[in-house]
Amino acid sequence: MAEYAHPETLATTDWVAKHAHDEGVRVVEVDVDTKAYNEGHVPGAIAWNWNTELCDTLRRDILSRQQFEELMERSGVAPGTTLVIYGDNNNWFAAWAFWQAKIYGHRDVRLMNGGRKKWLAEGRELATDVPKVKPANYTAGEPDPSLRAFLPQAQAASAQGAAALVDVRSPQEFSGEILAPPGLPETCQRGGHIPGARSIPWGKAANDDGTFKSADELRALYASEGVDGSKPVIAYCRIGERSSHTWFVLKYLLGFNDVKNYDGSWTEWGNLVGAGVERGAAAKAAGARQ
Amino acid sequence: MRAEEYAERGLELAGWPVNVASYRLGTEWHAKADNVSPGAALARATGTTRDEAERKVLARAEQLLGRTRRQAV
C-alpha cells in the first residue's frame, strides 16, 4: 500500500491524546457548528470560529496577513509551534484553517485524522474548560498565491482547460437540482457547475469514521475522473470549505504539485452576471451548457 | 467526561438522506443530524434520553429539509 505523500500533515487521535499539552503544540478545534466546542473538546484545545476569526468580516476574503498574525499571537502559536487542527463534519473548516495557515507559511500544521467525530466515537476524554493561552509573537510569510485560485483562474481553466476543475459538492448541487445543500439557505442565483468541471464529492475521500481513505483509494478515485496530477487542479464547492478538504487530499496526501482552492466557489460563479453554467449529471456535462 | 454510547444511523427525512449521531455526556443525551452527502450539520438537540434528543433533532432537521426546493434539470 502506498504511503501518503506528506504523512507529517496528519495527526492520529492517539498522538493528540498523548501530545495535546506538550510545549510547542497547540490544538485548535474549528467546527461548522460553532457550539460544538462548548459541549466538550480535546483537553487543552482552543477554538476558532470560522465565520468571525477565519475570514475578513467586512469584505469577502480570507484573513489578511495582519489578521492571521493577530490570530496566531492570541492563540499562543509561534512560527515553530506544531499546530494541530480538528473539527466536525470530517474536518471541513479545520481544512479551511489549515489552508490559510499554509497560505501564510506556517511550517508544521496537521489535521487530526477523523476529526471531532472520531474523538467522540472513541470515547476519549473531553474538557469543557477554555484553556488560558499565553500570547506568542508571530510573523507570517507573504501569502502564497500558488494555493489559492481567483475567478480569472477559474474562468481560464473552464475556457482553456489548462487546469482540471474539481467540483466537490454533492451530485444534486453539481447538476443544478438544488441551489444549496439540503436544509441550508440558497446562496446562488443559478444552479449547476462551472463548464468543464468534474464532479468528485468531497465525502468520497473519507471513510465512515471520518478518516481519510488510503493513498491508493484516493489516487484511484481522482484518476477515474482524469485528475492525476499531470496538470494543475482547481477545487471548488459553495464557499470554499469543502474544497479545502479536497485541496488537502490532493496537495498533501497525494502530493500533487499544483493544487489551488477556489474559495469564491459557487457563491461567486453562480451569482456572476454572464457566467456560463452547465447543468445536468456529470456524465452529461459536456453537452448541457446554457 | 467522555462521549458514551456513541451511535450513528441513517434514515430519510423529507425525501433526503440524513445521518443522526447521538451519545451521552454525563447524564445528558446529545443528538446531531447532518444531510449526509454534503455533510452539513442541520440541527443539534439535547434530552434526558437518546429518544428524546433524537426526536427533537429529527423534527428540526425535517423542518429545514422540507424547505429545500428541487429545480428542474
Asked if A32 and B69 come within 8 Å (Cβ–Cβ), the reply is: no
Alpha-carbon gap: B27 to the closest alpha carbon of chain A (Å) = 13
Beta bridge partners of B18: B11
Chain A residue numbers with beta carbons less than 8 Å from the beta carbon of B68 are 178, 180, 182-183
Kindly state whether A171 is in contact with chain B, defined as any CB-CB distance less than 8 angstroms: yes
pLDDT of residue A212: 97
Tens of pLDDT, residue by residue over B54-71, are 999 999 999 999 999 999
Q: What cell does A252 get?
A: 498533501
A55 is catalytic: no
In contact, A270 and A188? CB cutoff 8 Å: yes
pLDDT of residue B37: 66
* CATH fit for domain B3-65, picks 1.10.4160, 3.30.67, 3.30.70, 2.60.40: 3.30.67
Tell me which chain B residue has its CA closest to the CA of residue A42: B2
pLDDT, average across residues A54-79: 96
Q: What cell does A97 get?
A: 484553517
Q: How far is CA A230 from CA A11, A164, A198, in A?
A: 28, 10, 15
pLDDT of residue A230: 95
pLDDT above 70 for A285: no
pLDDT above 70 for A187: yes
Q: Given pLDDT bands bounded at 50, 70 and 90, which one contains residue A94?
A: very high
pLDDT above 80 for B14: yes
pLDDT of residue A266: 97
pLDDT of residue A33: 85
pLDDT, average across residues A263-272: 96
In contact, A71 and A63? CB cutoff 8 Å: yes
Domains along the sequence of chain A with CATH:
7-143 (3.40.250.10), 146-287 (3.40.250.10)
pLDDT of residue A260: 98
Asked if A183 and B21 come within 8 Å (Cβ–Cβ), the reply is: no
Mean pLDDT, all residues of chain A? 94
**What percent of chain A lies above the pLDDT cut of 70?**
97
pLDDT above 80 for A287: no
Tens of pLDDT, residue by residue over A144-169, are 999 999 999 999 999 999 999 999 99
Tens of pLDDT, residue by residue over A26-49, are 999 999 888 899 999 999 999 999
pTM: 0.94
Tell me which chain B residue has its CA closest to the CA of residue A285: B73
Tens of pLDDT, residue by residue over A115-128, are 999 999 999 999 99
Give the range among A24-28, A64-68, A135-139, A187-191 with minimum mean pLDDT.
A187-191
pLDDT above 50 for A290: no
Q: What cell does A31 get?
A: 467546527
Q: Given pLDDT bands bounded at 50, 70 and 90, which one contains residue B38?
A: low
Alpha-carbon gap: B38 to the closest alpha carbon of chain A (Å) = 5
pLDDT above 90 for B41: no
**Interface residue ranges in chain B relative to chain A, Cβ cutoff 8 Å:** 1-4, 6, 16, 21, 23, 25, 30, 32, 34-35, 37-42, 44, 61, 64-65, 67-71, 73
- Give dist(CA A128, CA B30) in Å, integer: 15
Catalytic residue among A237, A239, A249, A277: A237
Name the nearest CA neighbour of A32 among B17, B52, B38, B9: B38
Chain A residue numbers with beta carbons less than 8 Å from the beta carbon of B73 are 175-177, 191, 279-280
pLDDT above 50 for A80: yes
Chain A residue numbers with beta carbons less than 8 Å from the beta carbon of B26 are none
Name the nearest CA neighbour of B46 among B18, B19, B27: B27
3-class DSSP assignment, residue A53: coil
Smallest Cβ–Cβ distance between B37 and the set A90, A126, A203 belongs to: A203
pLDDT, average across residues A191-206: 95
**What percent of chain B lies above the pLDDT cut of 70?**
96
